[in-house]
Amino acid sequence: MGIAPATAKQQSANRLDSWLQKGYHSTMQWMEKRADERGDIGKYYPEAKSVISLGLNYFTGNASPHPDVGKISNYAWGDDYHDLIKSRLYNLLGEIKYKYPKINGIACVDTSPIMEKDWAQRAGLGWVGKHTNLITRDYGSWIFLGELVLDVKLEYDTPFEDDLCGTCTACLDACPTNAFPEPYVLDSNKCISYLTIEHRGDLPAELEDKLSGWIYGCDICQEVCPWNIKFPQNSNEDCWQPRSNLNNRAINEWKGLTEDEYRKLFKGSAVKRAKYKGLMRNINHYKLQSKN
């Protein structure tokens, strides 16, 4: 964890505006609708004085390299992280308010309109890598982020100023859809995670055969990162452990998934985000892939 002052940072807002203007958010219109709040936390929570950033390790292993496995990003093998992280943030906020009743604040996960990776870097947790994920010295980029925004000034941590990616371009080179137009910039239109989770309707014809076996999300740019190869630590959280063999399920088994089975299998899971129709679209494109 780390703490940063809740001050606006024009450089971050400018980067966000440039990213949106280039259409790199694709159909994620909520990114654009609340851009002012993302760029200036005072517009989201006017009383903000401090941002406490917290990171939680979720690593439980890499996706299976077996060619017949329909791969799911490892963050979604277990329970929905939104539920657990927000619950713990509210518990922490409750503890703070119990000891200091005059303090008020809000709890945020990645559904809130704040730039959480930017706040985490300002709080000293790590740096934003070329693949646009936050990288930490201790856990690589295998962490979930959450924030408490409080209306009181605190003692602040030193921002993480170093860029420890150096000259490495492993993540950029490994992306099968060339989703990085330049280092530190992600074009969601080409990102496998975006395409398999957020995108609705048919996949772009030029990308539908490049999913590389992923049926929900993608970990390629993280799996090749030297920090993730050298320093992963298995999470001790039971809720992140793979449920129902999600990390090793053969594609032929996925193809027979009914909507009722989908609802039961992914109850309380982040995979619900893709909906049954979207997941089956991805699964069916695995068949297309294997023919090419």
Whether the pLDDT of residue 215 is over 80: the answer is yes
**pTM for the whole structure:** 0.94
Length of the chain: 292
Indicate the pLDDT class of residue 291, thresholds 50, 70 and 90: very low
Query: For the segment 41-85, what is each residue's pLDDT rounded down to a tens digit?
Result: 999 999 999 999 999 999 999 999 999 999 999 999 999 999 999
Query: For the segment 253-280, what is each residue's pLDDT rounded down to a tens digit?
Result: 999 999 999 999 999 999 999 999 999 9
CA distance 40 to 27: 22
The predicted structure's pLDDT at residue 289: 52
Whether the pLDDT of residue 93 is over 80: the answer is yes
CA distance 60 to 234: 5
CB 191 within 8 A of CB 179: yes
Within the chain, residue ranges assigned H as helices are: 10-21, 29-33, 35-39, 41-44, 81-99, 116-122, 170-174, 192-197, 220-223, 226-230, 251-255, 259-265, 275-291
Provide the 3-class DSSP secondary structure of residue 291: helix
CA distance 78 to 271: 10
Residues classed as catalytic? 110
Looking at residues 188-194, what average pLDDT do you find? 98
Looking at residues 137-146, what average pLDDT do you find? 96
267 conformational bin, left if phi > 0, alpha if psi -120 to 50, beta if neither:
beta
Q: Rg of the chain over CA atoms, in angstroms?
A: 19
Torsion angle, alpha carbons of 8, 38, 158, 185, to 10: -120
